[in-house]
Amino acid sequence: MTILDASKGYQKYFEEITKIPHGSAEEKQISDYLVQVAHNHNLKVVQDESNNVIIYKNASLGYEDHPAVVLQAHIDMVNEKNSSSNHNFSKDPLDLYIEDGFLKAHSTTLGADDGAGVAYILSALTDPSLKHPQLIGLFTVNEEATMEGAFNLDMSLINAKRMINIDGEEEDASTTGSAGGMDIVIHHSITYIHAPAKGYALSIKGLLGGHSGGEIHKERGNSNKIIARLLHQCILKGDVQLESLKGGLKINAIPREADATFTSSLPESEVLDIINKTAIQIKKELEFTDEGLTIAIKPCTINKVLDKDVSKKIIDFLYLVPTGLRHKSDHLNGLTTSSENIGIIDLQDEIFEFGLSVRGALDSYVQDLADEIQTLAKVFGFSATTENWYPAWDYMEHSPMRDLMAKVYKETHDGKEIQMYAVHGGLECGIFKEKCPDMDIVAIGPNIYDVHTPDEKLDLKSFDRTYSFLCKYLENL
């Protein structure tokens, strides 16, 4: 049984994509699927060692002398699910449904970021009626984690100086620039003391979360910071010893849930009173951004704990480490220019790890934030390493692609102007520009909401409209 309209190529391809596991670093199946689509339509295709796929389609009649254009999207998705879900992203198809005109997936991310872009490109490549210059469909891997697909791409395979990145999330807007960033991993070895005792299980749930680039300016609650604040309040009055501490699934997603088990030297009544009073304060602070927040604590049996001093260091570091929006632009209205997100905390048998993502419109912002966090880690005696750096995509003053897009959009939308602005999210465009400085790039996409969360949804009418606009734009290139 199909959910979407298979008569529309992009809807058919999107539904097929959702049946194939394609989380970051697990894209081989979908990469092979793209190769098979190309073969089925007698299109030239290259699959590189990273599993990037490049598909070539000749220009349509009358467009042979028009410069080629690259249509680009990434084929990985963020695998997020509700804690109650048994979905296995490595083998299970997404469970799609439509509600109030929106496509969703039960209890998991939908992967419209960037399955929508992948589906658009496949539809354009396989539609014989479309009018267009030579098309180069570029499908990259691991954008959501390391961007290794874009970094490893051999640009000699791309004989074009024009690109349409289809990784946008607003149909009435085109991206003109994006942030750079890197990840920071904090870690330290630990030793447990086996000491069965009465303790407490603390749980944070119900936050909205979201993309740490697209939603960080909304100042939504971060479950990892909330649980640190609650434990910190207990430490102010007595000792706390951790047994477990875990929160978040992706370094670039604002964490929605966190859990801890611990013991305290305080009487049970005082522990519960501290947690409940602090919970009331936090819920009041977040009533307009995260009304679904729940904070629960209950007694439990603890089997092992960390030393008091180590537990205090972990909690204090997590309490102090900065997260959220740091700077906004005075030049570009509403643009976040730097931020941090502590996306993952994980206390394991022999080591704990904290994972943070930092972003900045300037490389200096990124480096300064990274230095700040590394310095704080050093004060606590923790190790900190940086990884997965990616460059910013700077605004291009003169862009014929952007000018033409604005013209075509206005003509096809009853005189309405398309919005042009930079975003705080990281896009592969910065890497492509670094590899090919004179590449003229624009970015578009349909309306997608709550990306990187199990509440992700794709506006199906917008999905249709944006594809129609893409076709008209190609016709004018």
pLDDT tens digit sequence for 119-178: 999 999 999 999 999 999 999 999 998 899 999 999 999 999 999 999 999 999 998 889
DSSP summary character for residue 394: P
> Residue 119 in 3-state DSSP?
helix
CA 376 to chain centre: 26
Annotated catalytic sites, by residue?
76, 143
User: What is residue 72's predicted lDDT score, i.e. its pLDDT?
Assistant: 98
Is residue 81 within 8 A of residue 92, CB to CB? The reply is no
Maximum alpha-carbon separation in the chain:
81
Q: Is the pLDDT of residue 225 over 80?
A: yes
Mean pLDDT, to the nearest integer, of 308-316? 97
User: What is residue 332's predicted lDDT score, i.e. its pLDDT?
Assistant: 65
- pLDDT interval class at 348 (50, 70, 90): confident
**pLDDT (tens digit per residue) in 249-284:** 889 889 999 999 999 999 999 999 999 999 999 999
C-alpha distances in Å from residue 362, one per residue of 365, 369, 394, 440 = 5, 11, 9, 20
Q: Of 96, 77, 75, nearest to 23 (Cα)?
A: 77
User: What is residue 211's predicted lDDT score, i.e. its pLDDT?
Assistant: 85
Q: Is the pLDDT of residue 66 over 90?
A: yes
Is residue 104 within 8 A of residue 97, CB to CB? The reply is yes
End-to-end CA distance of the chain: 38
**pLDDT (tens digit per residue) in 172-214:** 999 888 999 999 999 999 999 998 999 999 999 999 998 888 8
Is residue 248 within 8 A of residue 209, CB to CB? The reply is no
Which amino acid is present at 74? H
Tokens of 448: 């997608």
- pLDDT interval class at 110 (50, 70, 90): very high
> Could you identify the residue written with the tokens 């936050």?
207
Alpha carbon distance 50, 149 (integer Å): 6
Is residue 234 within 8 A of residue 264, CB to CB? The reply is yes
CA 18 to chain centre: 17
User: What is residue 67's predicted lDDT score, i.e. its pLDDT?
Assistant: 98
- pLDDT interval class at 423 (50, 70, 90): confident
**Alpha helices per DSSP H over 127-261:** 148-152, 223-235
Alpha carbon distance 391, 427 (integer Å): 9
User: What is residue 39's predicted lDDT score, i.e. its pLDDT?
Assistant: 98
**pLDDT (tens digit per residue) in 377-386:** 999 999 999 9
pLDDT-above-90 percentage for the chain: 88
User: What is residue 1's predicted lDDT score, i.e. its pLDDT?
Assistant: 80
Q: Is the pLDDT of residue 333 over 70?
A: no
Residue 182 phi, psi (nearest 5): -160, 165
Alpha carbon distance 276, 87 (integer Å): 33
Is residue 442 within 8 A of residue 405, CB to CB? The reply is yes
Q: Is the pLDDT of residue 331 over 80?
A: no
